[in-house]
Amino acid sequence: MEEMERRQKNFIEEAVEADLASGLTKKVHTRFPPEPNGYLHIGHTKALCIDFGIAEKYGGLCNLRFDDTNPAKEDVEYVDAIMEDIRWLGFDWEDRLFYGSDYSEKIYEYAVLCIKKGIAYVDDLTPDEIREHRGTLIQPGKESPWRNRSVEENLGLFEKMREGVFEPGEKILRAKIDMASPNINMRDPAMFRIKKDHHHRLGHTWCIYPMYDFAHPLQDAVEGVTHSLCSIEYEDHRPLYNWVLEQCEIKDPPRQFEFSRLNINHTVMSKRKLRELVEKDYVHGWDDPRLPTLCGLRRRGFPAAAIRDFVDRIGVSKTNSVVDWGLLEHCVRENLNRTAMRVMTVTDPVRLVIDNYPEGLVEEFSLENNPELPEAGSRKVPFSRELWIEREDFMVSPPPKYFRLKPEGEVRLKSAYFVKCTGYESDADGNTTVVHGTYDPASRGGESPDGRKVKGTIHWVSAAHAVDAEVRLYDMLFSVENPEDGDYKANLNPDSLKVLASAKAEPFLKDAKPGDRFQFLRMGYYCVDPRQADDGKTVFNRTVTLKDTWAKISGK
């Protein structure tokens, strides 16, 4: 809220404040109207933050209303998932949970009113014929041969549509507006169509369902919505929104405002494409951490606060643009840098034996939990003769300016001792299996006893105390910025997931719970997966790497 107050007001906030000041609006009332035909993704978050955020800022209300008027694609699974995601982001609809299907009878009555007023008719044209009659942006449409049926005939046919006498596509109820209108949305748009699919709440009670453009303004009005906030593609639909409210004689009608959609590179946010990725096993379910779904981002370890910060930073406007995925990751890093506990985990281990360290001796070293959060305190980490270190932290023939472990080279073991490499063992393929070294007892705590400088510091885990873990390294799902340029599936990144099944974690992580977030020193930020690996190991998903390329490029 404080950040919201500091920045310049956007055009929606200005309109709301003007309505409040003029008395046009007594109490702000918005709504978030998702379709229960898929999972929410990062693109929906902008609408969520605007709908709920505007109500919150001005002491108003925000409803959650499921637009469930297309039964063929809807499922209670999606309803439950959407509610979980909204709560996770920190929003609350309190007792204002509604469904478009709640208003079936009411919307039907409004349609009957339009028929009686002579501004709606039952049409026999097929869907293809309706498209042909609609015209183009430069050519007017053609009126249907059934446009001038009598009110009595239309009422009778509409009643038979409701009774299930006709099949889908055989009849449709249309508004009678203007087939020559420059706005194609006003060329006798559909109001009710026949759908005989099972509805997740109504069963087969209804076989006709209202079109969104007819139902949406009336649902807003019934619920007392004052400001109907929509994405920019509904801007051309606003005249129809207002026409419905006027013709249905709605007093104190809501007003519609449109804002630009949230588009992000390196991903797709079409529900159809996301569903295809899931159903054809390109990914592992709707909560796959590579997907932009909120459940996927949550499983990957993205904090809700970081996502809301991201939405606030991109702002609200009417101009469509593409946001860099790196900005989202930057917001995540900033959040986790402040909140995540630092731990040591070796993701690709090789054994380090300190030959001059006493066998059987175990020491403990104190490591701070988060230097950005002194009140988080410190923890004890065991140290012993045999350790695990990262395979990449030892090289037999290193390049210049390699400051990690190498033959005759010396490094600092984080918060422990200086260690010098005295030798190594390899397998038949030349892969290092064991590194040998000696430690300097006088360097306890990682401090130089004689002033000598050691440039490299590496992390480690005591082999005798290590917790076996699986680490999953997630990267961009698509290898190009605009994956929808061509066949989007051809742009899938083959390296979007790498599984490291032999990771070794410090013993503190033995009690890590699903959803816990950590910074693996020198490696990145990780989150405990809610599901264990097939062999029972705890799984850590990489949330983001430590390197922040967006901040570097943007100068932040």
Residue tagged active-site, from 174, 238, 271, 298:
271
pLDDT digits (tens, 9 = 90+) for 121-156: 999 999 999 999 999 999 999 999 999 999 999 999
Asked if 510 and 436 sit in the same domain, the reply is: no
Asked if 328 and 359 sit in the same domain, the reply is: no
Kindly report the three-state secondary structure assignment for every residue of 437-471: EEEEHHHHHHCCCCCCCCCCEECCEEHHHCEEEEE
Asked if 53 and 148 sit in the same domain, the reply is: yes
Q: What is the pLDDT of residue 42?
A: 95
Q: Which residues contact 343 (CB under 8 A, 6 or more apart)?
A: 505, 506, 508, 509, 518, 519, 520, 521
Residue tagged active-site, from 57, 134, 147, 261:
261
Is 414 among the domain residues?
Answer: yes
DSSP string across 538-551:
EEEEEEEES--HHH
Asked if 244 and 131 sit in the same domain, the reply is: yes
Question: Is 106 part of the annotated catalytic residue set?
Answer: no
Residue 423: pLDDT over 60: yes
Judged by DSSP in three states, 12 sits in helix
Q: Which residues contact 552 (CB under 8 A, 6 or more apart)?
A: none
Can you tell me the mean pLDDT for 445-458? 88
Q: Which residues contact 286 (CB under 8 A, 6 or more apart)?
A: 38, 39, 81, 274, 278, 293, 295, 296
Is 265 among the domain residues?
Answer: no
Is 264 among the domain residues?
Answer: no
> How far is residue 527's CA from residue 517's CA, in Å, rounded to a whole number?
4
pLDDT digits (tens, 9 = 90+) for 264-310: 999 999 999 999 999 999 999 999 999 999 999 999 999 999 999 99
Asked if 51 and 182 sit in the same domain, the reply is: yes
Sheet with 208-210, edge to edge strand ranges: 120-123, 172-175, 190-194, 208-210
Asked if 191 and 144 sit in the same domain, the reply is: yes
Can you tell me the mean pLDDT for 249-259? 96
Is 362 among the domain residues?
Answer: yes
Dihedral in degrees, nearest 10, Cα atoms 386, 388, 392, 395: 10
> How far is residue 9's CA from residue 16's CA, in Å, rounded to a whole number?
11
Residue 542: which domain range?
A: 271-341+469-554
Asked if 133 and 166 sit in the same domain, the reply is: yes
Q: What is the pLDDT of residue 478?
A: 95
Structure tokens at 491: 């742009």
Q: How many helices (H) and strands (E) does the chain have?
A: 14, 27
pLDDT digits (tens, 9 = 90+) for 165-178: 999 999 999 999 99
Question: Is 35 part of the annotated catalytic residue set?
Answer: yes
Domain limit, last residue, from 422, 441, 459: 459
Q: What is the pLDDT of residue 486?
A: 83
DSSP string across 291-341:
SSBHHHHHHHT--HHHHHHHHHHH---SS--EE-HHHHHHHHHHHHHHHPE
Residue 330: pLDDT over 50: yes
Residue indicated by tokens 């393929």: 429
With CA atoms as reference, report the closest residue to 490 among 347, 282, 183, 298.
282
Domain limit, last residue, from 439, 459, 479: 459
| Angle formed by the axes of helices 238-247 and 212-223, nearest 10° | 60
Residue 418: pLDDT over 50: yes
Domain limit, last residue, from 437, 459, 481: 459
With CA atoms as reference, report the closest residue to 413 among 439, 382, 395, 451.
439
Question: Is 77 part of the annotated catalytic residue set?
Answer: no
DSSP label of 203 = B
Residue 320: pLDDT over 90: no
pLDDT digits (tens, 9 = 90+) for 84-102: 999 999 999 999 999 999 9
Judged by DSSP in three states, 117 sits in coil
508: domain CATH number is: 2.40.240.10
Can you tell me the mean pLDDT for 500-516? 96
| Angle formed by the axes of helices 325-339 and 304-314, nearest 10° | 130
Is 6 among the domain residues?
Answer: yes
Residue tagged active-site, from 9, 17, 35, 273:
35
Is 307 among the domain residues?
Answer: yes
Residue 552 binned pLDDT confidence (cut-offs 50, 70, 90):
low
Asked if 442 and 506 sit in the same domain, the reply is: no
Residue 17: pLDDT over 80: yes
pLDDT digits (tens, 9 = 90+) for 232-246: 999 999 999 999 999
pTM here is 0.91
Residue 551 binned pLDDT confidence (cut-offs 50, 70, 90):
low
Structure tokens at 225: 């919505």
In 97-226, at which residue ranges do the beta strands (DSSP E only) sit?
Answer: 97-99, 120-123, 172-175, 190-194, 208-210
Q: How many CA atoms lie within 13 A of 264 on its CB side?
A: 27
Asked if 226 and 320 sit in the same domain, the reply is: no
Number of domains in the chain: 3
Structure tokens at 192: 């009710």
Asked if 45 and 137 sit in the same domain, the reply is: yes
Give me the residues paired with residue 387 across strands: 352, 462
Residue 1: pLDDT over 50: no
Asked if 444 and 506 sit in the same domain, the reply is: no
> How far is residue 390's CA from residue 344's CA, in Å, rounded to a whole number?
11
Asked if 277 and 229 sit in the same domain, the reply is: no
Mean pLDDT of the chain: 94
Structure tokens at 40: 């929410």
